Structure formats: structure tokens, C-alpha cells
């Protein structure tokens, strides 16, 4: 079953319909390879002259998250970023540069194994997890060489739980 069919089934169960605007939004998201905000998506649709309001974009994104077709991620930017949900097998975590805001995706089996061991040690049944590591990417480190990276210079975000290994900038 493809995403469109899953979304249609989800909407039907909610007593709603798959409108042309909702389908257009989903089809456009399927073409996006990077994390994106609601405003990013709205601007793409506006430039493509799709005639879809910002409110419709926000409402449809919320429905797509509820339908588990999108993941909403909080990288401490004052707005959510979205990425296509990966179902059961393509889990990844994120490295987030606090200077240039680059997002690098990675998967590490050792980290996954350690998380399972910790959960087992504490008799905790883990259902899901998110892992974001905040710091400076290699590019920003090279720019900073020779400068003091003290806590006064680096804006450290408050780390809260949130939910690809190619660089993504937003």
C-alpha cells in the first residue's frame, strides 16, 4: 500500500476525505529529500502556483503526522521540521550543528544496542526513541580553529527529545 492509499484510508477512518489539495501536498512531500518546515513547503507550493493556503498546509501536515506518514522533529528552531516516516526499518538519528544549523543523519548499531541494554537493565520496555547530538560540524570547527569555543561563544540549545547519512540544511 503506498502513502496515498494509507492517507486515504486514515482520512476515511476519521470521517474526512482526500481532497485534491491534500493529495497535492502529499505528492510534493514525496519529492522532498531534506527536512522541511511547514513554511518551506508552503513556499514551494506557492512558487509552483498550486493555490493552497498556508492553513491547509499546516492542517495537512498535522494529519500526515497523525497518520504516521510524517515525523515532526523539534531541533530547537522555534518551529517543527518534518521528514517522511520510516516505518519499521530505516531508523536514524541526527547530528545538529548549533552554528550553521546543518543536520546530518546517521545510524549506529552500537548506539542502538546500548540503548536496548540500558532499557533492559532498568526493566524498561522501549517502544521508540529519538537521538539528537548537538555540537559543531567539521565545517564550523574549521572556521572556529584558533578561537576559544567556550560556553559564552556557543549558543547551546536546550535539548529535548525529538524524532537521514546525508547533510541536510534548513
pLDDT at 90 over 90: no
pLDDT of residue 89: 54
pLDDT at 29 over 80: yes
CATH number at residue 142: 3.30.1490.190
**Residues 3-25: pLDDT tens digits?**
999 999 999 999 999 999 999 99
Per-residue pLDDT, averaged over 24-45, amounts to 93
Specify whether 59 is located in the same domain as 132: no
Q: Which residue range forms the structural domain that includes residue 124? A: 93-169
Using an 8 Å Cβ cutoff, are 78 and 167 in contact? no
**Number of domains within the chain:** 2
Q: What is the pTM of this model?
A: 0.68
Instruction: Report the mean per-residue pLDDT for the chain.
Output: 84
**Residues 74-84: pLDDT tens digits?**
877 788 999 88
**Residues 137-157: pLDDT tens digits?**
999 999 888 665 554 445 544
User: How far apart are alpha carbons 162 and 98 in whole angstroms?
Assistant: 16
Using an 8 Å Cβ cutoff, are 82 and 35 in contact? yes
Domain end, chosen from 59, 84, 109, is at: 84
Pairing outcome for strands 93-97 and 132-135:
parallel
Q: Which three cell numbers stand for residue 35?
A: 527536512
CATH number at residue 21: 1.10.10.10
Specify whether 104 is located in the same domain as 32: no
Specify whether 75 is located in the same domain as 113: no
Specify whether 37 is located in the same domain as 72: yes
Specify whether 165 is located in the same domain as 99: yes
Amino acid at each position: 500500500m503506498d502513502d496515498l492509499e494509507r492517507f486515504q484510508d486514515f482520512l476515511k477512518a476519521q470521517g474526512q476525505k482526500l481532497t485534491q489539495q491534500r493529495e497535492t501536498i502529499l505528492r510534493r512531500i514525496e519529492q522532498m529529500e531534506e527536512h522541511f518546515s511547514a513554511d518551506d513547503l508552503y513556499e514551494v507550493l506557492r512558487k509552483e502556483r498550486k493555490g493552497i493556503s498556508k492553513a491547509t498546509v499546516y492542517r495537512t501536515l498535522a494529519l500526515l503526522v497523525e497518520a504516521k506518514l510524517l515525523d515532526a522533529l523539534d531541533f530547537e528552531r522555534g518551529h517543527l521540521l518534518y521528514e517522511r516516516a520510516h516505518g519499521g526499518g530505516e531508523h536514524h538519528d541526527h547530528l545538529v550543528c548549533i552554528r550553521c544549523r546543518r543536520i546530518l543523519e546517521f545510524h549506529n548499531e552500537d548506539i542502538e544496542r546500548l540503548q536496548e541494554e540500558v532499557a533492559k537493565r532498568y526493566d524498561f520496555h522501549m517502544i521508540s526513541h529519538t537521538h539528537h547530538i548537538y555540537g559543531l560540524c567539521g565545517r564550523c570547527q574549521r572556521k572556529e580553529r584558533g578561537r576559544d569555543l567556550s560556553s559564552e561563544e556557543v549558543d547551546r540549545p536546550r535539548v529535548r527529545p525529538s524524532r537521514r547519512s546525508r547533510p541536510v540544511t534548513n
